[in-house]
């Protein structure tokens, strides 16, 4: 995994899992790798992965079956969609609008299909 952005690694791990929930590659009740498996796979400290899993658990996106592993909550997609839309409207869109103003791009020039 490439870490480029300046977000902390545990949040970037959350982002990747949420992205995979949205695009359907992680289906409801699918098992995700254990903390150590995932850490070994991406070369990240297991405690960092644990922190990401704890955050996702608290948000109801994944759930833990003790001794078996972590799974995608059946409601995960709705939860992720809701928070990602909010994130887009509150943070990403204003940035895009700011860039458009800076570059002098009128909304009518956008070719949205």
Partner 1 sequence: MITIKDLGFSYGERNVLKNINMTLEEGRIYGLLGENGVGKTTLLTLLCGLKKPQEGSVDADGHTPFKRETELLSSQYYLSDDVATVNMKAIDYAADYGRFWEGFSMEKFVSAMKDLETDPQLKMNKMSYGQLKKTYISFALACNAKFLYMDEPTNGLDIPSKAQFRKAVTKYTREDSIIVISTHQVRDLENIIDPIIILDRQDVLLNATIEEISKKLHFDYTNNRRPDSLYSEMIPGGSIQVSLNTDEQDSKVNIEALFNTVHLHKELIKGIFSK
Give SS3 for 43. Answer: coil
11 or 89, CB closer to partner 1?
11
Site string for partner 1, 34-63 (x = CB under 8 A): --x--xxxxxxxxxx--x------------
In this complex, which beta carbon is closest to partner 1, that of residue 9 or of residue 79? 9
Per rule CB under 8 A, is residue 73 in the interface with partner 1?
A: no
Say which residue the tokens 């409601």 belong to: 75
Nearer to partner 1, 36 or 99 (CB): 36
50-58, long-range: CB < 8 A, 24+ apart: 51/10, 52/10, 52/11, 52/13, 52/14, 52/17, 55/10, 55/11, 55/14, 56/14, 56/17, 56/18
Applying CB under 8 A, the residues found at the interface with partner 1 are 3, 5-9, 11, 36, 39-48, 51
């Amino acid at each position: 995994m490439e870490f480029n952005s300046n977000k902390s690694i545990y949040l970037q791990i959350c982002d990747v899992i949420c992205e995979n929930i949205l695009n359907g590659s992680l289906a409801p009740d699918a098992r995700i790798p254990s903390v150590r498996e995932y850490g070994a796979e991406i070369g990240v400290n297991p405690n960092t992965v644990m922190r990401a899993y704890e955050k996702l658990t608290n948000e109801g996106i994944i759930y833990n079956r003790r001794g078996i592993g972590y799974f995608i909550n059946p409601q995960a997609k709705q939860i992720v969609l809701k928070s990602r839309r909010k994130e887009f409207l509150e943070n990403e869109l204003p940035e895009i609008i700011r860039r458009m103003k800076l570059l002098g791009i009128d909304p009518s020039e956008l070719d949205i299909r």
